[in-house]
Amino acid sequence: MSIDPEPPAVEIDLTSQAFKRDPFPTLARMRGLGPVIRVRLPLFGKVWMATTYDAVNDLLRDHQRFVQSPATAGNRRMGAIVRWLPRSLKPLASNMLLRDPPDHRRLRSLVDQAFRRQSVEALRPRLEALADEALDRLEAARSPGGVDLLAHFARPFPLAVICEILGLPPEDRPMFTRWASQFSTATGFLGIVRGLVFGVRRLLRYARDEFRRQSVQPRGGLMAALIEAEEAGDRLTEDELVAMVFLVLAAGHETTLHQIAHNVLTLLDHPQQLAELRADWGLADSAAQELLRYVSFAQVSKPRYARADAEFYGRTIRRGQMIFACLAAANSDPAIFEAPERLDIHRQPNRHVAFGTGIHVCLGATLARVETAIAMERLFTRFPRFELAIPRLQVRFSARIGTRGLVALPVKW
């Protein structure tokens, strides 16, 4: 295979409303440019991106050549950003999504059990009860002009679930919602800095204080289990403890809430398939999987860095260079998925990579699947005459790069 070391970077619009509304044509264009392309992204500049199903899988599973830590790969610029983080934000760099083995293995093994299939299945009745409680509040917020499903159901439900798993007091949830939304709605450099200072810093300080409180008075839940592991000599630093809670809390609801809102929107766009689902909730898991593929909320992975110069799909990725996996492009690769731009709740097999793959595959994958399936079933069963409260074209998407979130989802019934 011939090696083209540095092709010119292409400009690809991954933030516009048009792209978020219908990403399939752009994703097809990206794949058409090659399995690994050079693109220019806002904030990041010129980076590499894997665009096909095979290239994405190979990238995310090659932990020898592609690593999470910029310092390991000699990327001084990104390494310096991590080093120069203020003390209050330092735990951000300790989270396991940014760590490589053996640290990653040590951290992940502490939380894996809580998110395994059996543990999640055992939680199912409680998840259903929390979904119903969130729906009670949605109903209470109902008004003739419509109600925002995102704020009144899609966010509170997964937040309640993850707080319960962590063992955080229910009365603190509105506070997390405020902080998290300060960060999650931020776009652009200044917005992100503001979000870090006002949202993330407060959340990190809260996690640190809560660890101290639970060291004396444990509440039961994952946080107490982590404190026990630390005390039993599992070599967790305080920053690592705080980072873990922050990661699980943030990743455990910011993702799922947008998936739930998108699922509702997508099913309303496909009334035939919604009717089939309503007639047979046995299809809920298969529908949840297909919606994960179709929506691909996490459109792009976190960056990987080449540990040394590497040849990858005919390109030379230089030591320290950044490479992303475009999960949305992999999930719509026609080499793997027949008619990928078509929603098909019966699709089998459905080996999507909406949760990534390799050692950093989503910790909460089973939980998210079960939560989104429960959310659909409870919502559409309770409110069968459910519709958008605004014209479809007025539904707005967050401009943030790499994810496909909605700003709001006004509905009525």
Q: Which residues bind ligand HEM (CB under 6 A)?
A: 60, 96-97, 108, 115, 247-248, 251-252, 255-256, 259, 297-298, 301-302, 327, 354-356, 360, 362-364, 367-368
CA distance 221 to 226: 9
Q: Which residue has the tokens 């979000």?
A: 195
State the DSSP H helix or E strand holding residue 235, giving kind and residue range, or none if neither. Answer: none
Measured from the CB atom, the residue of 135 and 363 that comes closer to ligand HEM is 363
Measured from the CB atom, the residue of 97 and 390 that comes closer to ligand HEM is 97
Work out how close the CB of 159 gets to ligand HEM at its nearest, in angstroms, rounded to a whole number.
11
Work out how close the CB of 337 gets to ligand HEM at its nearest, in angstroms, rounded to a whole number.
17
Measured from the CB atom, the residue of 135 and 298 that comes closer to ligand HEM is 298
CA distance 137 to 132: 9
Find out whether 162 and 249 touch, Cβ atoms under 8 Å.
yes
Work out how close the CB of 60 gets to ligand HEM at its nearest, in angstroms, rounded to a whole number.
6
CA distance 305 to 307: 6
Q: 370: helix, coil or strand?
A: helix
Measured from the CB atom, the residue of 147 and 326 that comes closer to ligand HEM is 326
Strands (E) across 257-353 are located at 304-306, 310-312, 315-317, 322-325
The token pair at 178 is 């405020």
Work out how close the CB of 115 gets to ligand HEM at its nearest, in angstroms, rounded to a whole number.
6
CA distance 115 to 119: 6
Work out how close the CB of 369 gets to ligand HEM at its nearest, in angstroms, rounded to a whole number.
8
Measured from the CB atom, the residue of 34 and 356 that comes closer to ligand HEM is 356
The residue count for the chain? 413
Please name which of 313, 250, 267 lies closest in space to residue 62, comparing C-alpha atoms. Answer: 313
Measured from the CB atom, the residue of 113 and 394 that comes closer to ligand HEM is 113
| Residue 146 exposed, middle or buried by CB count within 10 Å (0-12, 13-18, 19+) | middle
DSSP for 351-393, written as a single string: ---TT--GGGS-TTHHHHHHHHHHHHHHHHHH-SS-EESS-GG
Q: 147: helix, coil or strand?
A: strand
244 DSSP β-pair partners: none
Measured from the CB atom, the residue of 225 and 390 that comes closer to ligand HEM is 225
CA distance 109 to 234: 11
State the amino acid at position 72 in one-letter form: T
Measured from the CB atom, the residue of 67 and 138 that comes closer to ligand HEM is 67
Work out how close the CB of 51 gets to ligand HEM at its nearest, in angstroms, rounded to a whole number.
16
Q: CB within 8 A of 90, min separation 6: which ones? A: 239
45 DSSP β-pair partners: 41
Work out how close the CB of 226 gets to ligand HEM at its nearest, in angstroms, rounded to a whole number.
13
Work out how close the CB of 66 gets to ligand HEM at its nearest, in angstroms, rounded to a whole number.
11
Task: Report the residue number whose CB is nearest to ligand HEM.
Answer: 364
Work out how close the CB of 378 gets to ligand HEM at its nearest, in angstroms, rounded to a whole number.
17
Q: 266: helix, coil or strand?
A: helix
Measured from the CB atom, the residue of 76 and 116 that comes closer to ligand HEM is 116
